[in-house]
């Protein structure tokens, strides 16, 4: 069973060019980093009372 999964993943990987997978990985890292960055900023801004809570909720919702 594990061998079949490995073969399917390998087949899928080889169906697309390497450039495609690089773009996929970079996009994933970019989205993950953006989510973490804005979450961190939200915490800092809330601790220092530097912005309105409604703006933070609207910004968080627009990311999804």
> Mean pLDDT per 10-residue run, the chain (64 residues)?
90 94 93 81 76 61 59
> What's this model's pTM, rounded to 2 decimal places?
0.54
Calpha distance 39→56 (Å, rounded): 9
pLDDT in the model for residue 44: 80
**Whole-number pLDDT of residue 53:** 60
pLDDT at residue 42, as a whole number = 76
Number of H helices, E strands in the chain: 3, 0
Q: What is the pLDDT of residue 39?
A: 79
Distance CA 3, CA 62 (A): 41
Structure tokens at 17: 């060019």
Predicted pLDDT of residue 62: 62
């Amino acid at each position: 069973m594990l061998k079949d999964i490995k073969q399917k993943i390998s087949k899928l990987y080889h169906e697309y060019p390497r450039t495609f997978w690089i773009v996929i990985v970079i996009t994933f890292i970019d989205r993950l980093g953006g989510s973490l960055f804005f979450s961190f900023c939200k915490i800092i801004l809330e601790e220092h009372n530097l912005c309105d809570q409604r703006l933070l909720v609207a910004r968080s919702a627009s990311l999804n």
